[in-house]
């Protein structure tokens, strides 16, 4: 039996990640058949220029989208995905830039996309782990997942992981322009809509490592949006014909 290695595009949204991004991209470049799209939101720390340098160093493998206008993780993914689904790739992955998501897990995620529409890099399946999170942060993440699963009836153990791999066609079928969330809950909305479309959702274990460089963008506003989004999703889900 011959097997063809899937071509992967990894979309990496960035806001003030100038220290981490080069480490991540160089690591990803060690994987054959992998391309990267950095979606930068005019980071004040110059991450956009750092990304341009990486694109020059890896022509044809690293691209940069410099967003203008309102910044946001969800908006960045909407724009990056619109570009990505037109590329000649088989799978499209989502990854944080802060080195929490280790590229060594990428082959397992990509391979699992052979039998699934979306594969979650999961901290909460057997073999998954979290390194360097204080007890408070672990508890918050655990409770968030219980909360989301209860309200939305999603089955996945790790609904908030930002490390994912999609079959390109499955991602292209998502009505991203109609999404209601923009912060981290954008990730939950993606899963909810995918599940509603009958997508096959799989999880593979990852070891998540807390960021060592740069700063968190987790704000009170983001947490509030995350608390409200599951309710808004089910309300909308029920009212759609």
The contact set with ligand GTP (CB under 6 A) reads: 13-15, 17, 39-41, 71-73, 76, 96-98, 100, 162, 184, 211, 216-218
Residue 161 lies near Mg ion (rule: CB under 5 A): no
Residues 162-221 that bind Mg ion (CB under 5 A): 211
Q: Considering CB distances under 5 to 8 angstroms, the limit depending on partner class, which of ligand GTP, Mg ion, none binds residue 63?
A: none
The CB-of-241 to ligand GTP minimum distance in angstroms stands at 33
Q: Considering CB distances under 5 to 8 angstroms, the limit depending on partner class, which of Mg ion, ligand GTP, none binds residue 156?
A: none
Are the C-beta atoms of 93 and 106 separated by less than 8 Å? yes
From 98, 117, 158, 203, residue interacting with Mg ion (rule: CB under 5 A): 98
Q: Indicate the residue whose CB is closest to ligand GTP.
A: 216
Q: Considering CB distances under 5 to 8 angstroms, the limit depending on partner class, which of ligand GTP, Mg ion, none binds residue 227?
A: none
Q: Considering CB distances under 5 to 8 angstroms, the limit depending on partner class, which of Mg ion, ligand GTP, none binds residue 9?
A: none
The CB-of-152 to ligand GTP minimum distance in angstroms stands at 19
Q: Considering CB distances under 5 to 8 angstroms, the limit depending on partner class, which of ligand GTP, Mg ion, none binds residue 97?
A: ligand GTP
Say if residue 147 is exposed, middle or buried (CB neighbours under 10 Å; 0-12, 13-18, 19+): middle
Q: Which is nearer to ligand GTP, 7 or 137 (CB)?
A: 137
Say if residue 121 is exposed, middle or buried (CB neighbours under 10 Å; 0-12, 13-18, 19+): buried
**Binding segment toward Mg ion, per CB under 5 A, in 11-19, 89-97, 164-172, 195-203:** 89-97
The CB-of-218 to Mg ion minimum distance in angstroms stands at 8
From 100, 141, 152, 229, residue interacting with Mg ion (rule: CB under 5 A): 100
**Which residues are CB-contacts of 221 (< 8 A; sequence separation ≥ 6)?**
183
Binding-site ranges for Mg ion (CB under 5 A)? 96, 98, 100, 211
């Amino acid at each position: 039996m011959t097997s063809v290695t899937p071509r992967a595009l990894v979309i990496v949204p960035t806001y003030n990640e100038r220290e981490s991004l080069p480490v991540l991209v160089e690591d990803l470049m060690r994987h054959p058949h992998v391309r990267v799209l950095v979606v930068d939101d005019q980071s004040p720390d110059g991450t956009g220029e750092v990304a341009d340098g990486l694109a020059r160093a890896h022509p044809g493998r690293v691209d940069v989208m410099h967003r203008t206008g309102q910044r946001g993780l969800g908006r960045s993914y909407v724009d990056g995905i619109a570009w990505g689904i037109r590329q000649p790739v088989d799978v499209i992955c989502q990854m944080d830039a802060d080195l929490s998501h280790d590229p060594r897990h990428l082959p397992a995620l990509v391979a699992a996309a052979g039998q699934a529409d979306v594969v979650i890099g999961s901290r909460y399946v057997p073999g998954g782990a979290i390194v360097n999170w204080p007890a408070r942060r672990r508890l918050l993440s655990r409770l968030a997942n219980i909360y989301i699963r209860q309200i939305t009836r999603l089955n996945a153990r790790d609904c908030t992981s930002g490390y994912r791999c999609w079959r390109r066609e499955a991602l292209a079928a998502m009505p991203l322009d109609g999404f209601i969330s923009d912060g981290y809950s954008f990730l939950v909305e993606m899963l909810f809509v995918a599940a509603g479309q009958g997508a096959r959702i799989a999880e593979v274990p990852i070891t998540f490592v807390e960021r060592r460089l740069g700063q968190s963008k987790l704000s009170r506003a983001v947490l509030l949006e995350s608390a409200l989004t599951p309710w808004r999703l089910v309300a909308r889900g029920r009212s759609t014909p």
